[in-house]
Structure 1
Protein backbone atom coordinates (compact mmCIF):
# COMPACT_ATOMS: atom_id res chain seq x y z
CA UNK A 1 0.00 0.00 0.00
CA UNK A 2 1.42 3.40 -0.95
CA UNK A 3 1.50 6.35 1.45
CA UNK A 4 -1.40 8.20 -0.21
CA UNK A 5 -3.66 5.18 0.00
CA UNK A 6 -2.64 4.58 3.63
CA UNK A 7 -3.50 8.21 4.40
CA UNK A 8 -6.91 7.91 2.76
CA UNK A 9 -7.74 4.65 4.50
CA UNK A 10 -6.77 5.99 7.93
CA UNK A 11 -8.84 9.13 7.22
CA UNK A 12 -11.88 7.16 6.11
CA UNK A 13 -11.77 4.99 9.23
CA UNK A 14 -11.43 8.03 11.49
CA UNK A 15 -14.37 9.80 9.86
CA UNK A 16 -16.55 6.68 9.78
CA UNK A 17 -16.01 6.18 13.51
CA UNK A 18 -17.17 9.79 14.09
CA UNK A 19 -20.20 9.34 11.81
CA UNK A 20 -18.97 12.06 9.42
CA UNK A 21 -19.92 11.64 5.76
CA UNK A 22 -18.03 13.76 3.25
CA UNK A 23 -16.89 14.10 -0.32
CA UNK A 24 -13.17 14.29 -1.05
CA UNK A 25 -12.52 16.69 -3.94
CA UNK A 26 -9.55 17.98 -5.91
CA UNK A 27 -10.06 21.28 -7.70
CA UNK A 28 -7.78 23.19 -10.11
CA UNK A 29 -6.90 26.64 -8.78
CA UNK A 30 -5.02 29.59 -10.25
CA UNK A 31 -3.01 30.44 -7.15
CA UNK A 32 0.12 29.45 -5.21
CA UNK A 33 -0.63 25.79 -6.06
CA UNK A 34 -2.36 24.30 -9.07
CA UNK A 35 -4.61 21.83 -7.30
CA UNK A 36 -6.35 22.15 -3.95
CA UNK A 37 -7.84 19.21 -2.08
CA UNK A 38 -10.80 19.74 0.22
CA UNK A 39 -13.58 17.90 2.00
CA UNK A 40 -17.13 19.00 1.29
CA UNK A 41 -20.18 18.27 3.42
CA UNK A 42 -23.32 19.80 4.89
CA UNK A 43 -25.79 22.34 3.61
CA UNK A 44 -26.49 26.00 4.28
CA UNK A 45 -24.30 29.08 4.35
CA UNK A 46 -20.76 28.35 3.05
CA UNK A 47 -18.07 28.01 5.73
CA UNK A 48 -14.41 27.49 4.81
CA UNK A 49 -12.23 25.79 7.44
CA UNK A 50 -8.46 26.39 7.26
CA UNK A 51 -6.22 24.21 9.40
CA UNK A 52 -2.95 25.08 11.10
CA UNK A 53 0.80 24.54 10.60
CA UNK A 54 1.89 21.19 9.25
CA UNK A 55 -1.54 19.70 9.75
CA UNK A 56 -4.32 18.75 7.32
CA UNK A 57 -8.08 18.99 6.86
CA UNK A 58 -8.82 16.02 9.13
CA UNK A 59 -7.81 17.97 12.24
CA UNK A 60 -11.38 19.34 12.27
CA UNK A 61 -13.00 15.88 12.40
CA UNK A 62 -14.54 16.18 15.88
CA UNK A 63 -16.58 19.30 15.08
CA UNK A 64 -17.54 18.63 11.45
CA UNK A 65 -20.75 16.72 12.13
CA UNK A 66 -22.47 19.44 14.22
CA UNK A 67 -21.18 22.20 11.91
CA UNK A 68 -22.47 20.37 8.84
CA UNK A 69 -26.00 20.48 10.25
CA UNK A 70 -26.00 24.28 9.80
CA UNK A 71 -23.35 25.07 7.21
CA UNK A 72 -22.06 24.01 3.83
CA UNK A 73 -18.48 23.11 4.75
CA UNK A 74 -15.40 23.47 2.59
CA UNK A 75 -12.55 21.93 4.61
CA UNK A 76 -9.34 22.69 2.74
CA UNK A 77 -5.83 21.28 2.85
CA UNK A 78 -3.41 24.22 2.84
CA UNK A 79 -0.54 24.25 0.29
CA UNK A 80 1.99 21.55 1.11
CA UNK A 81 -0.46 19.77 3.43
CA UNK A 82 -2.74 16.78 3.06
CA UNK A 83 -3.61 16.05 -0.57
CA UNK A 84 -3.19 19.61 -1.87
CA UNK A 85 -0.15 20.20 -4.09
CA UNK A 86 3.20 20.43 -2.33
CA UNK A 87 4.85 23.83 -1.90
CA UNK A 88 8.30 25.22 -1.14
CA UNK A 89 7.89 28.40 0.93
CA UNK A 90 11.48 29.61 0.55
CA UNK A 91 11.53 33.10 -0.96
CA UNK A 92 7.73 33.27 -1.08
CA UNK A 93 5.93 36.51 -0.16
CA UNK A 94 4.18 34.76 2.71
CA UNK A 95 1.26 37.08 3.39
CA UNK A 96 0.46 37.52 -0.30
CA UNK A 97 0.64 33.76 -0.76
CA UNK A 98 -1.87 33.23 2.06
CA UNK A 99 -4.29 35.70 0.48
CA UNK A 100 -3.76 34.20 -2.96
CA UNK A 101 -4.47 30.69 -1.73
CA UNK A 102 -7.85 31.51 -0.21
CA UNK A 103 -8.81 33.79 -3.09
CA UNK A 104 -7.94 31.22 -5.75
CA UNK A 105 -9.78 28.47 -3.89
CA UNK A 106 -12.93 30.55 -3.49
CA UNK A 107 -12.83 31.50 -7.16
CA UNK A 108 -12.41 27.87 -8.20
CA UNK A 109 -15.22 26.71 -5.91
CA UNK A 110 -17.54 29.47 -7.15
CA UNK A 111 -17.78 31.22 -3.78
CA UNK A 112 -18.25 34.98 -3.95
CA UNK A 113 -18.23 35.22 -0.16
CA UNK A 114 -18.15 32.85 2.81
CA UNK A 115 -17.56 32.53 6.52
CA UNK A 116 -13.91 31.78 7.36
CA UNK A 117 -12.76 29.66 10.29
CA UNK A 118 -9.02 29.39 10.89
CA UNK A 119 -6.87 27.64 13.48
CA UNK A 120 -3.23 28.63 14.19
CA UNK A 121 -1.55 29.21 10.78
CA UNK A 122 -5.01 28.89 9.25
CA UNK A 123 -6.03 31.78 11.49
CA UNK A 124 -3.17 33.85 10.07
CA UNK A 125 -4.24 32.99 6.52
CA UNK A 126 -7.82 33.97 7.35
CA UNK A 127 -6.87 37.29 8.95
CA UNK A 128 -4.68 38.24 5.99
CA UNK A 129 -7.46 37.43 3.53
CA UNK A 130 -10.11 39.27 5.55
CA UNK A 131 -7.94 42.41 5.65
CA UNK A 132 -7.36 42.26 1.90
CA UNK A 133 -10.87 41.23 0.84
CA UNK A 134 -13.36 42.17 3.58
CA UNK A 135 -16.22 42.08 1.08
CA UNK A 136 -15.72 38.33 0.64
CA UNK A 137 -15.71 37.45 4.37
CA UNK A 138 -19.11 37.26 6.03
CA UNK A 139 -17.64 36.38 9.41
CA UNK A 140 -14.15 35.64 10.68
CA UNK A 141 -13.91 32.84 13.25
CA UNK A 142 -10.59 32.14 14.98
CA UNK A 143 -9.91 29.02 17.03
CA UNK A 144 -7.00 29.03 19.44
CA UNK A 145 -4.21 31.52 18.85
CA UNK A 146 -3.58 32.62 15.23
CA UNK A 147 0.05 32.16 14.17
CA UNK A 148 2.08 35.24 15.05
CA UNK A 149 -0.14 36.39 17.92
CA UNK A 150 1.74 34.36 20.52
CA UNK A 151 5.56 34.36 20.38
CA UNK A 152 5.95 31.21 22.52
CA UNK A 153 7.23 28.43 20.26
CA UNK A 154 8.64 25.08 21.49
CA UNK A 155 12.40 24.73 21.01
CA UNK A 156 12.00 21.77 18.69
CA UNK A 157 9.95 23.87 16.25
CA UNK A 158 12.48 26.72 16.36
CA UNK A 159 15.22 24.20 15.58
CA UNK A 160 13.11 22.76 12.77
CA UNK A 161 12.90 26.29 11.40
CA UNK A 162 16.70 26.55 11.24
CA UNK A 163 18.02 25.54 7.84
CA UNK A 164 20.53 22.69 8.01
CA UNK A 165 19.73 21.73 11.57
CA UNK A 166 16.17 20.91 10.55
CA UNK A 167 17.21 18.34 7.94
CA UNK A 168 19.32 16.52 10.52
CA UNK A 169 16.52 16.52 13.10
CA UNK A 170 13.87 15.49 10.57
CA UNK A 171 15.88 12.38 9.83
CA UNK A 172 16.51 11.48 13.46
CA UNK A 173 14.67 12.54 16.63
CA UNK A 174 11.95 14.49 14.80
CA UNK A 175 11.25 11.96 12.07
CA UNK A 176 7.57 11.02 11.55
CA UNK A 177 6.24 8.76 14.30
CA UNK A 178 3.09 8.41 16.35
CA UNK A 179 5.15 9.25 19.43
CA UNK A 180 6.25 12.58 17.92
CA UNK A 181 2.70 13.35 16.78
CA UNK A 182 1.50 12.90 20.35
CA UNK A 183 4.37 15.00 21.70
CA UNK A 184 3.71 18.06 19.53
CA UNK A 185 -0.01 17.90 20.32
CA UNK A 186 0.83 17.79 24.02
CA UNK A 187 3.30 20.69 23.82
CA UNK A 188 1.39 23.03 21.55
CA UNK A 189 -2.02 21.98 20.31
CA UNK A 190 -4.34 20.46 22.93
CA UNK A 191 -5.00 20.65 26.65
CA UNK A 192 -5.02 16.88 27.19
CA UNK A 193 -3.22 14.73 24.62
CA UNK A 194 -4.43 11.58 26.38
CA UNK A 195 -7.90 12.25 24.96
CA UNK A 196 -6.62 11.89 21.40
CA UNK A 197 -7.56 8.54 19.90
CA UNK A 198 -4.98 6.18 18.45
CA UNK A 199 -6.83 6.36 15.13
CA UNK A 200 -6.41 10.15 15.07
CA UNK A 201 -2.72 9.98 15.96
CA UNK A 202 -2.11 7.26 13.38
CA UNK A 203 -3.84 9.33 10.70
CA UNK A 204 -1.69 12.36 11.56
CA UNK A 205 1.37 10.15 11.26
CA UNK A 206 0.29 9.01 7.79
CA UNK A 207 -0.19 12.67 6.80
CA UNK A 208 3.48 13.34 7.60
CA UNK A 209 4.53 10.62 5.15
CA UNK A 210 2.70 12.16 2.17
CA UNK A 211 4.91 13.27 -0.74
CA UNK A 212 6.16 16.81 -0.17
CA UNK A 213 4.71 17.06 3.33
CA UNK A 214 7.95 17.16 5.32
CA UNK A 215 10.00 19.45 3.02
CA UNK A 216 7.00 21.76 2.67
CA UNK A 217 6.57 22.03 6.44
CA UNK A 218 10.28 22.62 7.03
CA UNK A 219 10.38 25.36 4.37
CA UNK A 220 7.34 26.98 6.00
CA UNK A 221 9.03 26.95 9.42
CA UNK A 222 12.20 28.41 7.89
CA UNK A 223 10.07 31.21 6.44
CA UNK A 224 8.25 32.21 9.64
CA UNK A 225 10.55 31.26 12.56
CA UNK A 226 14.01 32.10 13.86
CA UNK A 227 15.99 30.31 16.55
CA UNK A 228 15.14 33.18 18.90
Structure 2
Protein backbone atom coordinates (compact mmCIF):
# COMPACT_ATOMS: atom_id res chain seq x y z
CA UNK A 1 0.00 0.00 0.00
CA UNK A 2 1.50 3.35 -1.06
CA UNK A 3 1.98 5.91 1.69
CA UNK A 4 -1.09 8.15 1.65
CA UNK A 5 0.81 11.26 2.69
CA UNK A 6 3.37 10.84 -0.09
CA UNK A 7 0.68 10.22 -2.70
CA UNK A 8 -1.48 13.16 -1.58
CA UNK A 9 0.92 15.99 -0.78
CA UNK A 10 3.91 17.22 -2.85
CA UNK A 11 6.19 17.16 0.23
CA UNK A 12 4.50 14.18 1.84
CA UNK A 13 3.98 14.20 5.58
CA UNK A 14 5.60 17.16 7.28
CA UNK A 15 6.19 17.82 10.95
CA UNK A 16 5.53 20.85 13.11
CA UNK A 17 6.46 21.36 16.77
CA UNK A 18 4.11 23.47 18.87
CA UNK A 19 3.62 24.00 22.60
CA UNK A 20 0.48 22.22 23.72
CA UNK A 21 -2.06 23.60 26.19
CA UNK A 22 0.17 22.60 29.13
CA UNK A 23 3.28 24.14 27.58
CA UNK A 24 4.93 20.88 26.48
CA UNK A 25 6.41 20.56 22.96
CA UNK A 26 4.39 18.19 20.78
CA UNK A 27 4.88 17.03 17.22
CA UNK A 28 2.02 17.66 14.80
CA UNK A 29 1.78 15.82 11.48
CA UNK A 30 0.51 17.80 8.52
CA UNK A 31 0.55 18.06 4.74
CA UNK A 32 -0.17 20.87 2.33
CA UNK A 33 -1.00 21.25 -1.32
CA UNK A 34 -1.72 24.18 -3.59
CA UNK A 35 -0.94 27.89 -3.42
CA UNK A 36 -2.80 31.03 -2.49
CA UNK A 37 -4.72 31.92 0.61
CA UNK A 38 -4.51 29.30 3.37
CA UNK A 39 -7.39 26.88 3.92
CA UNK A 40 -7.13 24.50 6.87
CA UNK A 41 -9.11 21.27 7.06
CA UNK A 42 -9.88 20.04 10.59
CA UNK A 43 -11.09 16.49 11.23
CA UNK A 44 -13.47 15.17 13.87
CA UNK A 45 -13.33 12.79 16.84
CA UNK A 46 -11.40 9.56 16.27
CA UNK A 47 -10.43 10.58 12.75
CA UNK A 48 -7.37 12.10 11.08
CA UNK A 49 -6.37 13.94 7.91
CA UNK A 50 -7.35 10.98 5.73
CA UNK A 51 -11.01 11.85 6.26
CA UNK A 52 -10.47 14.85 3.94
CA UNK A 53 -8.97 12.70 1.16
CA UNK A 54 -11.71 13.67 -1.31
CA UNK A 55 -11.49 17.41 -0.68
CA UNK A 56 -7.76 18.13 -0.72
CA UNK A 57 -7.17 18.02 -4.48
CA UNK A 58 -10.33 19.94 -5.55
CA UNK A 59 -9.82 22.70 -2.96
CA UNK A 60 -6.07 22.95 -3.61
CA UNK A 61 -6.79 24.20 -7.13
CA UNK A 62 -7.90 27.46 -5.51
CA UNK A 63 -6.20 27.56 -2.09
CA UNK A 64 -3.15 26.52 -0.13
CA UNK A 65 -4.79 23.55 1.57
CA UNK A 66 -3.35 22.44 4.91
CA UNK A 67 -4.41 19.18 6.53
CA UNK A 68 -3.18 18.26 10.00
CA UNK A 69 -3.74 15.59 12.61
CA UNK A 70 -4.74 17.01 15.98
CA UNK A 71 -2.61 15.99 18.95
CA UNK A 72 -3.42 12.41 19.91
CA UNK A 73 -4.87 11.57 16.51
CA UNK A 74 -3.50 10.06 13.33
CA UNK A 75 0.25 10.52 12.94
CA UNK A 76 0.63 13.32 15.50
CA UNK A 77 2.24 12.78 18.88
CA UNK A 78 0.24 11.00 21.58
CA UNK A 79 1.58 12.01 24.99
CA UNK A 80 0.28 9.35 27.39
CA UNK A 81 2.08 10.48 30.54
CA UNK A 82 -0.19 13.46 31.17
CA UNK A 83 -3.96 13.95 31.13
CA UNK A 84 -5.63 16.52 28.94
CA UNK A 85 -7.74 19.46 30.09
CA UNK A 86 -10.98 20.45 28.42
CA UNK A 87 -10.44 22.97 25.65
CA UNK A 88 -6.87 21.97 24.91
CA UNK A 89 -7.78 21.44 21.23
CA UNK A 90 -8.78 25.09 20.91
CA UNK A 91 -5.44 26.35 22.25
CA UNK A 92 -3.44 23.92 20.13
CA UNK A 93 -5.32 24.66 16.91
CA UNK A 94 -4.72 28.37 17.44
CA UNK A 95 -0.99 27.69 17.74
CA UNK A 96 -0.98 25.58 14.60
CA UNK A 97 -2.65 28.39 12.66
CA UNK A 98 -0.15 30.92 13.99
CA UNK A 99 2.81 28.66 13.18
CA UNK A 100 1.79 27.90 9.61
CA UNK A 101 0.00 31.05 8.44
CA UNK A 102 0.67 34.78 8.58
CA UNK A 103 -2.80 35.89 7.49
CA UNK A 104 -6.43 35.06 8.37
CA UNK A 105 -7.28 31.54 7.24
CA UNK A 106 -10.27 29.73 5.87
CA UNK A 107 -11.21 26.94 8.25
CA UNK A 108 -13.29 23.96 7.10
CA UNK A 109 -14.07 21.78 10.10
CA UNK A 110 -16.20 18.70 10.65
CA UNK A 111 -17.94 17.31 13.76
CA UNK A 112 -15.79 17.88 16.89
CA UNK A 113 -13.39 19.90 14.76
CA UNK A 114 -16.28 22.25 13.95
CA UNK A 115 -16.90 22.82 17.66
CA UNK A 116 -13.21 23.70 18.11
CA UNK A 117 -13.35 26.07 15.14
CA UNK A 118 -16.44 27.85 16.53
CA UNK A 119 -14.58 28.47 19.80
CA UNK A 120 -11.57 29.95 18.00
CA UNK A 121 -13.78 32.19 15.85
CA UNK A 122 -15.18 33.59 19.10
CA UNK A 123 -11.95 33.93 21.06
CA UNK A 124 -9.51 34.91 18.30
CA UNK A 125 -11.52 36.32 15.40
CA UNK A 126 -8.40 37.76 13.78
CA UNK A 127 -7.18 34.24 12.98
CA UNK A 128 -10.17 33.16 10.88
CA UNK A 129 -11.32 35.00 7.77
CA UNK A 130 -14.06 32.59 6.74
CA UNK A 131 -15.49 29.56 8.45
CA UNK A 132 -17.22 26.39 7.24
CA UNK A 133 -18.60 24.04 9.90
CA UNK A 134 -20.04 20.62 9.09
CA UNK A 135 -22.33 18.64 11.41
CA UNK A 136 -21.11 20.34 14.59
CA UNK A 137 -21.96 18.75 17.98
CA UNK A 138 -22.90 22.14 19.40
CA UNK A 139 -26.27 21.19 20.88
CA UNK A 140 -25.83 17.47 21.46
CA UNK A 141 -27.28 15.99 24.65
CA UNK A 142 -25.35 12.72 24.62
CA UNK A 143 -22.49 10.89 22.96
CA UNK A 144 -24.08 9.80 19.69
CA UNK A 145 -22.75 6.24 19.47
CA UNK A 146 -22.69 3.27 21.85
CA UNK A 147 -18.98 2.65 21.27
CA UNK A 148 -18.21 6.24 22.25
CA UNK A 149 -20.21 5.82 25.45
CA UNK A 150 -18.39 2.56 26.20
CA UNK A 151 -14.94 4.08 25.69
CA UNK A 152 -15.91 7.08 27.81
CA UNK A 153 -16.76 4.74 30.69
CA UNK A 154 -13.59 2.67 30.54
CA UNK A 155 -10.78 3.57 32.98
CA UNK A 156 -7.90 5.15 31.09
CA UNK A 157 -5.42 2.76 32.69
CA UNK A 158 -7.22 -0.13 31.00
CA UNK A 159 -7.24 1.67 27.65
CA UNK A 160 -3.50 2.37 27.95
CA UNK A 161 -2.90 -1.29 28.75
CA UNK A 162 -4.85 -2.31 25.64
CA UNK A 163 -2.67 0.07 23.65
CA UNK A 164 0.60 -1.14 25.19
CA UNK A 165 -0.31 -4.78 24.52
CA UNK A 166 -1.07 -3.86 20.88
CA UNK A 167 -4.37 -5.75 21.01
CA UNK A 168 -5.73 -3.82 18.03
CA UNK A 169 -2.65 -4.95 16.08
CA UNK A 170 -2.99 -8.57 17.22
CA UNK A 171 -6.64 -8.64 16.14
CA UNK A 172 -6.25 -6.32 13.15
CA UNK A 173 -8.62 -8.17 10.73
CA UNK A 174 -11.42 -8.21 13.32
CA UNK A 175 -10.76 -4.60 14.32
CA UNK A 176 -10.89 -3.46 10.69
CA UNK A 177 -14.14 -5.34 10.11
CA UNK A 178 -15.81 -3.78 13.16
CA UNK A 179 -14.62 -0.31 12.17
CA UNK A 180 -15.84 -0.86 8.61
CA UNK A 181 -19.30 -1.78 9.84
CA UNK A 182 -19.51 1.27 12.10
CA UNK A 183 -18.13 3.72 9.54
CA UNK A 184 -20.57 2.51 6.90
CA UNK A 185 -23.45 3.28 9.27
CA UNK A 186 -22.72 7.01 9.01
CA UNK A 187 -22.73 6.95 5.19
CA UNK A 188 -25.76 7.37 2.96
CA UNK A 189 -24.17 4.95 0.49
CA UNK A 190 -22.07 2.47 2.52
CA UNK A 191 -20.68 0.86 -0.63
CA UNK A 192 -18.39 3.82 -1.35
CA UNK A 193 -16.08 2.81 1.50
CA UNK A 194 -13.29 0.81 -0.15
CA UNK A 195 -10.84 -1.69 1.39
CA UNK A 196 -8.13 0.95 0.99
CA UNK A 197 -10.30 3.41 2.94
CA UNK A 198 -10.70 0.92 5.78
CA UNK A 199 -6.96 0.25 5.81
CA UNK A 200 -6.10 3.93 6.24
CA UNK A 201 -8.99 4.83 8.56
CA UNK A 202 -7.91 2.12 10.99
CA UNK A 203 -4.15 2.49 10.46
CA UNK A 204 -3.42 4.77 13.46
CA UNK A 205 -5.44 2.55 15.80
CA UNK A 206 -3.63 -0.60 14.67
CA UNK A 207 -0.13 0.65 13.93
CA UNK A 208 0.42 3.69 16.18
CA UNK A 209 0.29 2.89 19.91
CA UNK A 210 -1.47 5.45 22.05
CA UNK A 211 -4.24 6.25 19.58
CA UNK A 212 -6.97 4.25 21.32
CA UNK A 213 -6.10 5.62 24.75
CA UNK A 214 -6.04 9.24 23.55
CA UNK A 215 -9.38 8.91 21.73
CA UNK A 216 -10.88 7.35 24.87
CA UNK A 217 -9.55 10.28 26.90
CA UNK A 218 -11.10 12.80 24.52
CA UNK A 219 -14.42 10.96 24.74
CA UNK A 220 -14.28 11.11 28.53
CA UNK A 221 -13.74 14.86 28.36
CA UNK A 222 -16.67 15.18 25.93
CA UNK A 223 -18.94 13.05 28.14
CA UNK A 224 -18.05 15.15 31.19
CA UNK A 225 -18.75 18.35 29.28
CA UNK A 226 -22.21 17.11 28.26
CA UNK A 227 -22.91 16.00 31.84
CA UNK A 228 -21.86 19.39 33.21
CA UNK A 229 -23.99 21.16 30.63
CA UNK A 230 -27.06 19.17 31.63
CA UNK A 231 -26.37 19.83 35.32
CA UNK A 232 -25.85 23.57 34.72
CA UNK A 233 -22.25 23.34 35.87
CA UNK A 234 -19.45 25.32 34.17
CA UNK A 235 -18.65 23.83 30.77
CA UNK A 236 -17.30 24.79 27.37
CA UNK A 237 -20.46 23.84 25.49
CA UNK A 238 -22.47 26.53 27.26
CA UNK A 239 -19.67 29.04 26.78
CA UNK A 240 -19.57 28.40 23.03
CA UNK A 241 -23.37 28.39 22.71
CA UNK A 242 -23.83 31.69 24.52
CA UNK A 243 -21.15 33.43 22.44
CA UNK A 244 -22.20 32.35 18.95
CA UNK A 245 -23.31 35.90 18.15
CA UNK A 246 -19.67 36.99 18.63
CA UNK A 247 -18.67 35.15 15.44
CA UNK A 248 -18.42 37.91 12.84
CA UNK A 249 -16.63 36.22 9.94
CA UNK A 250 -18.71 34.89 7.03
CA UNK A 251 -19.77 31.41 8.09
CA UNK A 252 -21.26 28.49 6.19
CA UNK A 253 -23.16 25.90 8.21
CA UNK A 254 -23.38 22.57 6.36
CA UNK A 255 -25.55 19.73 7.65
CA UNK A 256 -26.33 16.24 6.46
CA UNK A 257 -30.06 15.88 5.88
CA UNK A 258 -30.02 12.32 7.23
CA UNK A 259 -27.47 12.87 10.02
CA UNK A 260 -28.76 10.58 12.78
CA UNK A 261 -26.16 11.80 15.28
CA UNK A 262 -27.01 15.51 15.19
CA UNK A 263 -30.33 16.45 13.51
CA UNK A 264 -30.74 19.25 11.00
CA UNK A 265 -32.64 21.25 13.63
CA UNK A 266 -29.26 21.74 15.33
CA UNK A 267 -27.87 23.21 12.12
CA UNK A 268 -30.85 25.54 11.79
CA UNK A 269 -30.40 26.67 15.37
CA UNK A 270 -26.67 27.26 14.87
CA UNK A 271 -27.33 29.30 11.74
CA UNK A 272 -29.90 31.38 13.63
CA UNK A 273 -27.37 32.36 16.31
CA UNK A 274 -24.45 33.25 14.01
CA UNK A 275 -25.25 36.65 12.45
CA UNK A 276 -23.23 36.45 9.23
CA UNK A 277 -24.02 32.84 8.37
CA UNK A 278 -25.58 30.76 5.65
CA UNK A 279 -27.15 27.32 6.09
CA UNK A 280 -27.08 24.57 3.50
CA UNK A 281 -28.60 21.15 4.04
CA UNK A 282 -26.75 18.37 2.21
CA UNK A 283 -29.13 15.85 0.69
CA UNK A 284 -28.32 12.13 0.72
CA UNK A 285 -25.84 12.76 3.52
CA UNK A 286 -25.45 11.18 6.96
CA UNK A 287 -22.91 12.32 9.55
CA UNK A 288 -19.68 11.66 7.65
CA UNK A 289 -20.14 14.34 5.02
CA UNK A 290 -16.47 14.58 4.03
CA UNK A 291 -16.62 10.96 2.88
CA UNK A 292 -20.27 10.35 2.03
CA UNK A 293 -21.15 13.62 0.26
CA UNK A 294 -17.78 15.02 -0.75
CA UNK A 295 -18.83 16.20 -4.21
CA UNK A 296 -21.71 18.38 -3.01
CA UNK A 297 -19.65 19.35 0.05
CA UNK A 298 -16.73 20.58 -2.06
CA UNK A 299 -19.07 22.44 -4.41
CA UNK A 300 -20.79 24.16 -1.48
CA UNK A 301 -17.47 25.18 0.06
CA UNK A 302 -16.11 26.64 -3.19
CA UNK A 303 -19.34 28.49 -3.97
CA UNK A 304 -19.38 30.02 -0.50
CA UNK A 305 -15.73 31.06 -0.70
CA UNK A 306 -16.22 32.61 -4.13
CA UNK A 307 -19.25 34.56 -2.88
CA UNK A 308 -17.40 35.84 0.21
CA UNK A 309 -14.06 36.91 -1.22
CA UNK A 310 -11.37 37.30 1.46
CA UNK A 311 -9.26 40.43 1.06
Alignment TM-score, normalising by the size of structure 2? 0.61
The answer on 1:147 being equivalent to 2:147 is no
Once residues 91 and 48 of structure 1 are traced to their aligned partners in structure 2, the CA distance between those partners, rounded to angstroms, is 27
Q: How many residues align?
A: 211
In the other structure, the counterpart of 2:202 is: 205
The answer on 1:11 being equivalent to 2:8 is no
In the other structure, the counterpart of 2:91 is: 100
**Structure 2 residue corresponding to 1:156, chosen from 147, 164, 168:** 147
In the alignment, structure 2 segments of 5+ residues that lack a partner are: 228-311
Q: Per the alignment, do residues 26 and 199 of structure 1 end up closer, same or farther by CA in structure 2, a change over 3 Å counting?
A: same
SS in 1 for 2:54: helix
Q: Per the alignment, do residues 30 and 112 of structure 1 end up closer, same or farther by CA in structure 2, a change over 3 Å counting?
A: farther
In the other structure, the counterpart of 1:3 is: none
Q: Per the alignment, do residues 85 and 217 of structure 1 end up closer, same or farther by CA in structure 2, a change over 3 Å counting?
A: same
Once residues 193 and 81 of structure 2 are traced to their aligned partners in structure 1, the CA distance between those partners, rounded to angstroms, is 30
Q: Per the alignment, do residues 90 and 118 of structure 1 end up closer, same or farther by CA in structure 2, a change over 3 Å counting?
A: farther
Q: Per the alignment, do residues 59 and 22 of structure 1 end up closer, same or farther by CA in structure 2, a change over 3 Å counting?
A: farther
Deviation at 1:85, TM superposition (A): 1.1
Once residues 225 and 87 of structure 1 are traced to their aligned partners in structure 2, the CA distance between those partners, rounded to angstroms, is 21
Once residues 169 and 191 of structure 1 are traced to their aligned partners in structure 2, the CA distance between those partners, rounded to angstroms, is 32
The answer on 1:61 being equivalent to 2:61 is no
In the other structure, the counterpart of 1:184 is: 182
The answer on 1:219 being equivalent to 2:217 is yes
Larger Rg: 2
How does 1:99-138 map onto structure 2 within 5 Å? 99-138=90-129
Deviation at 1:161, TM superposition (A): 0.9
Deviation at 1:68, TM superposition (A): 0.5
Once residues 159 and 10 of structure 1 are traced to their aligned partners in structure 2, the CA distance between those partners, rounded to angstroms, is 32
Alignment TM-score, normalising by the size of structure 1? 0.81
RMSD over equivalenced CA pairs, Å: 2.8
Kindly indicate whether the alpha-carbon contact (under 8 Å) linking 1:57 and 1:76 is maintained by their aligned counterparts in 2.
yes
User: What's the CA shift string for 1:56-104, capped at 9, x where partnerless?
Assistant: 1111001111100001011010110111111459853322x12211111
Kindly indicate whether the alpha-carbon contact (under 8 Å) linking 2:9 and 2:31 is maintained by their aligned counterparts in 1.
no
Once residues 129 and 89 of structure 1 are traced to their aligned partners in structure 2, the CA distance between those partners, rounded to angstroms, is 27
The answer on 1:51 being equivalent to 2:43 is yes
Higher relative contact order (CA 8 A, sep 6+): 1
Q: Per the alignment, do residues 10 and 191 of structure 1 end up closer, same or farther by CA in structure 2, a change over 3 Å counting?
A: farther
Deviation at 1:159, TM superposition (A): 1.1
Q: Which moved more, 1:102-111 or 1:59-68?
A: 102-111
In the other structure, the counterpart of 1:75 is: 67
Kindly indicate whether the alpha-carbon contact (under 8 Å) linking 2:97 and 2:127 is maintained by their aligned counterparts in 1.
no
Kindly indicate whether the alpha-carbon contact (under 8 Å) linking 2:179 and 2:202 is maintained by their aligned counterparts in 1.
yes
The answer on 1:28 being equivalent to 2:17 is yes
In the alignment, structure 1 segments of 5+ residues that lack a partner are: 1-5
